[in-house]
């Protein structure tokens, strides 16, 4: 699984799917914490212009010196790019998307296209494109994430399912020359294959052609192989395989006679258009291949990989045996060691040196290119591969069994085939795929549920994650967010604190954390958070949101507004910043601008229930109760588990004189969240206005237990007693209310009430 993840990360990087890359890399580092993976994560952050994150990670690895020395250019790069249009993710995406979609039709670019469309409000087409992108590459997490945010995601089980596993598997083995299922990694693989073989004069052409043939399947046929399913029909499966492998015989001709860099052109005929482009691509490819060097060709390849991976090269090379051509032997060798994740290094991951050595020996023998030798070799390996299959997950047995069966038949049918090897260790890959899919499934389901605001379910699902994955910044922030939506601020605070500890450089969800602290009125923590965030990155909108929250807590609404506007300037697609601007406008009683801000937030993300709520509040203040009710209801529909929204919906209903519904809503709110005293208070209010004083009093008595320090409770009770002309109790309660230091207006009101205690109510106008 690790290799698979690494692949995906690299391909995402190459396609500028930076968020995807970062997310997958974080998963990778959680499960397989290692230096190289951390380096990869640092590289991802660098690409995303988050140099400080990279700095943090590499600092942990004591690589700072090296980092500064080697990647100085990269540190400089972000600054240089500051004014550049590429820095704007939207333009960057647009440019790449348009260019690449027309030229390559890669699945990643469907995702890019849909991202653009999402930004331009074409929701339906965006959803469609995301789904297509996902169906083509189930590992494209960013696509799934966007689908969730758009509210159109299907069950994660459906997306990250067995079918998806097949899809990935298929892509891995199939560079899909004529189909959109293009994976650069496959291309790399084949390129390496050809390259390493090409450099090795002795390699028989047959070997090469066979190798090439393996990867020349058409997807349809390949699927047929799998649908062949259990090994009940080995022969037919085998024959279909043969046919597959038989067809591309003309292809091998293309393989040779070309210099290594444009090898990718051979593999994908339709890339010929990109003659010019292939060189940068191949450069990228070579950096990756550098990691999968053949033992005998280290020196040459070492030079090629000039960029980011240069540092890791030496280490990798010493550890990786002739990956490509000899991965078969290598991985089989590796496979016999049996452990789940780390043993298989099909696509340029890491393996231990012991494996290397034995593999090297094997590859050495292998490269001698004696068909017979290899055949016997294969025989030997075949038995191993069969052992292998038994060690595999049960889930993969069906596919692997069929593969092995095919393997067996192939062995019989062809000489010098390493295909068996490929297919055999393919089972390793498929187990990796399935694990990865499992992980993504859990995460995806959790994310989807939290986007649908079914927070308790989301939390349950996140609990199912392994300990290592759970303790990553992303997951913990999601957990915190779920608690926040459920209005459970204390738990959210805890979760976010852990998230900060796990990844102190991460910005995901920090704006929500600042809001949590705002709600809890934790001034110290909030200001500390804001300071930290700003010092880490002044250009992240989340830091300015946190700062703004800090000022807002101190009631300095104008400065808060300025900060939120800065956040908006930094990223105008950041819906929450708009919402917070709206809140500040409302606090400054500037309702027009408030409405504008909320509406811009909604334009960006129509499922942002905070904005709906904000609009409802404005209309409530302006006494436009129908509008208020409509907006609160929308908010409620989006987030049905927030008791605060229910409470306000009830208030709006009451203002519309629909008191029955209002009371129902209040009851719902009370049930939804026991810790929220407000629905009870509102219920009492409604009852008082309906003149049902007894019930109101009962509710208030209960409320006294929950919130004994709340003066408005006593004030209301005093009012009720006054109604009943029980003057002593009324006096008592008003006195209690006054003791609790209410605001000046209330002091005035209460004092007035006390004075007028003995005056009948009709004479009192404004109590």
- Residues found near another protein in the complex (CB under 8 A): 487, 489, 515, 518-521, 549, 555, 580, 583, 587, 589, 609-610, 613, 617, 620-621, 635, 642-645, 647, 651, 655, 675-678, 681, 685, 706-707, 709-712, 715-716, 719, 737, 740-749, 751-752, 755
Q: Shortest gap between Cβ of 635 and another protein (angstroms)?
A: 8
Q: Shortest gap between Cβ of 717 and another protein (angstroms)?
A: 11
CA distance 420 to 21: 32
Q: Shortest gap between Cβ of 515 and another protein (angstroms)?
A: 5
CA distance 716 to 702: 13
> Which two tokens mark 508?
């995901």
Q: Shortest gap between Cβ of 567 and another protein (angstroms)?
A: 14
Cα distances (Å, whole numbers) of residue 203 to 192, 194, 361, 603: 14, 10, 16, 61
Q: Shortest gap between Cβ of 448 and another protein (angstroms)?
A: 22
Is the Cβ of residue 300 or residue 658 nearer to another protein in the bound state? Answer: 658
Is the Cβ of residue 121 or residue 701 nearer to another protein in the bound state? Answer: 701
Is the Cβ of residue 499 or residue 647 nearer to another protein in the bound state? Answer: 647
Q: Shortest gap between Cβ of 180 and another protein (angstroms)?
A: 43
If you compute the radius of gyration of the chain from its CA atoms, what whole number of angstroms results? 32
Locate all alpha helices (DSSP H) within 452-509, ordered by sequence: 455-463, 467-470, 473-485, 489-502
553's CB contacts (< 8 A; 6+ apart) are: 518, 521, 523, 526
Is the Cβ of residue 223 or residue 764 nearer to another protein in the bound state? Answer: 764
Is the Cβ of residue 467 or residue 758 nearer to another protein in the bound state? Answer: 758
Is the Cβ of residue 463 or residue 490 nearer to another protein in the bound state? Answer: 490
Cα distances (Å, whole numbers) of residue 454 to 8, 461, 550, 676: 30, 11, 29, 19
Q: Shortest gap between Cβ of 533 and another protein (angstroms)?
A: 17
CA distance 166 to 606: 35
Q: Shortest gap between Cβ of 745 and another protein (angstroms)?
A: 5
Taking each helix axis from N to C terminus, what angle separates 219-227 and 234-246, rounded to the nearest 10 degrees? 170
Is the Cβ of residue 296 or residue 644 nearer to another protein in the bound state? Answer: 644
Residue for token digits 């069969």? 386
Is the Cβ of residue 429 or residue 754 nearer to another protein in the bound state? Answer: 754
Q: How far apart are the first and last CA of the chain?
A: 69
Is the Cβ of residue 259 or residue 744 nearer to another protein in the bound state? Answer: 744
| CA-wise closest residue to 466 among 28, 160, 24, 31 | 31
CA distance 273 to 261: 15
Q: Shortest gap between Cβ of 13 and another protein (angstroms)?
A: 36
CA distance 411 to 375: 8
Instruction: For 617-628, give the secondary structure using H, E and C.
Output: HHHHHCCCHHHH
CA distance 478 to 489: 14
């Amino acid at each position: 699984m690790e290799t698979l993840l690494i692949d995906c990360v690299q391909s995402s990087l190459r396609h500028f799917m930076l968020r995807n890359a970062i997310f997958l890399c974080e998963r990778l580092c959680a499960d397989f914490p290692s230096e190289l993976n951390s380096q990869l994560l640092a590289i991802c952050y660098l690409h995303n212009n988050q140099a400080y994150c990279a700095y943090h990670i590499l600092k942990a690895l004591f690589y700072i010196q090296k980092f500064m020395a080697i990647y100085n250019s990269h540190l400089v790069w972000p600054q240089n790019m500051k004014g550049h249009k590429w820095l704007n993710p939207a333009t960057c995406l647009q440019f790449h998307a348009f260019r690449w979609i027309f030229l390559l039709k890669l699945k990643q670019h469907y995702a890019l296209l849909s991202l653009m469309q999402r930004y331009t409000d074409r929701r339906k087409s965006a959803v469609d494109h995301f789904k297509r992108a996902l169906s083509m590459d189930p590992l494209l997490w960013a696509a799934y994430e966007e689908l969730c945010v758009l509210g159109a995601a299907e069950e994660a089980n459906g997306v990250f399912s067995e079918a998806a596993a097949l899809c990935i598997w298929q892509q891995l083995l199939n560079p899909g020359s004529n189909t959109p299922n293009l994976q650069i990694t496959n291309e790399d693989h084949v390129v390496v294959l050809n390259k390493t073989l090409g450099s090795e004069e002795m390699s028989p052409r047959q070997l090469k052609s066979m190798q090439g043939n393996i990867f020349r399947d058409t997807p349809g046929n390949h699927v047929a192989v799998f649908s062949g399913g259990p090994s009940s029909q080995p022969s037919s499966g085998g024959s279909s395989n043969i046919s597959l492998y038989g067809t591309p015989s003309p292809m091998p001709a293309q393989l040779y006679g070309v210099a290594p860099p444009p090898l990718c052109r051979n593999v994908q005929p339709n890339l010929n258009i990109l003659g010019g482009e292939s060189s940068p691509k191949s450069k990228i490819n070579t950096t990756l291949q550098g990691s999968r060097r053949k033992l005998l060709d280290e020196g040459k390849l070492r030079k090629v990989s000039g960029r980011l991976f240069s540092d890791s090269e030496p280490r990798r090379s010493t550890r990786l045996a002739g990956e490509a051509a000899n991965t078969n032997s290598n991985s089989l060798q590796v496979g016999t060691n049996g452990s789940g994740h780390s043993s298989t290094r099909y696509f340029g991951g890491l393996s231990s040196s012991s494996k290397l050595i034995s593999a090297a020996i094997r590859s050495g023998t292998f490269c001698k290119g004696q068909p017979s030798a290899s055949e016997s070799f294969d025989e030997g390996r075949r038995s191993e591969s069969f052992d292998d299959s038994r060690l595999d997950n049960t889930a993969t047995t069906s596919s692997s069994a069929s593969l092995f069966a095919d393997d067996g038949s192939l062995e019989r049918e062809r000489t010098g085939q390493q295909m068996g090897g490929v297919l055999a260790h393919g089972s390793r890959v498929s187990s990796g795929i399935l694990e990865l899919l499992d992980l993504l499934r859990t995460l995806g389901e959790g994310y989807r549920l939290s986007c649908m605001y079914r927070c308790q379910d989301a939390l349950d699902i996140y609990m199912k994650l392994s300990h290592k994955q759970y303790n990553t910044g992303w997951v913990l922030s999601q957990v915190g967010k779920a608690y926040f939506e459920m209005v459970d601020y204390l738990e959210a605070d805890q979760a976010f604190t852990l998230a900060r500890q796990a990844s102190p450089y991460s910005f995901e969800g920090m704006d929500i954390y600042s809001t949590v602290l705002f709600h809890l009125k934790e001034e110290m923590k909030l200001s500390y958070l804001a300071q930290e965030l700003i010092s880490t990155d002044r250009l992240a909108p989340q830091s300015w949101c946190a700062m703004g929250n800090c000022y807002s807590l101190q009631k300095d609404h104008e400065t808060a507004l300025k900060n939120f506007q800065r956040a908006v300037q930094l990223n105008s697609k950041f819906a929450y910043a708009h919402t917070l601007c709206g809140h500040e406008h409302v606090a400054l009683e500037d309702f027009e601008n408030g409405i504008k801000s909320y509406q811009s937030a909604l334009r960006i993300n129509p499922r942002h229930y905070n904005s709906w709520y904000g609009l409802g509040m404005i209309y409530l203040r302006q006494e436009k109760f129908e509008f208020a009710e409509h907006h609160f209801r929308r908010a409620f529909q989006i987030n049905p588990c927030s008791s605060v929204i229910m409470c306000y919906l009830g208030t709006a209903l009451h203002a519309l004189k629909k008191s029955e519904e209002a009371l129902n809503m209040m009851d719902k709110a009370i049930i939804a969240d026991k810790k929220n005293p407000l629905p009870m208070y509102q219920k009492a209010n409604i009852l008082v206005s309906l003149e049902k004083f007894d019930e109101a009093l009962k509710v208030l008595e209960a409320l006294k237990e929950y919130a004994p320090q709340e003066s408005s409770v006593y004030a209301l009770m005093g009012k009720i007693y006054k109604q009943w002309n029980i003057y002593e109790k009324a006096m008592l309660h008003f006195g209690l209310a006054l003791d609790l230091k209410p605001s000046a207006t209330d002091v005035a009101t209460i004092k007035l009430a006390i004075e007028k205690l003995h005056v009948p109510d009709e004479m009192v106008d404004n109590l």
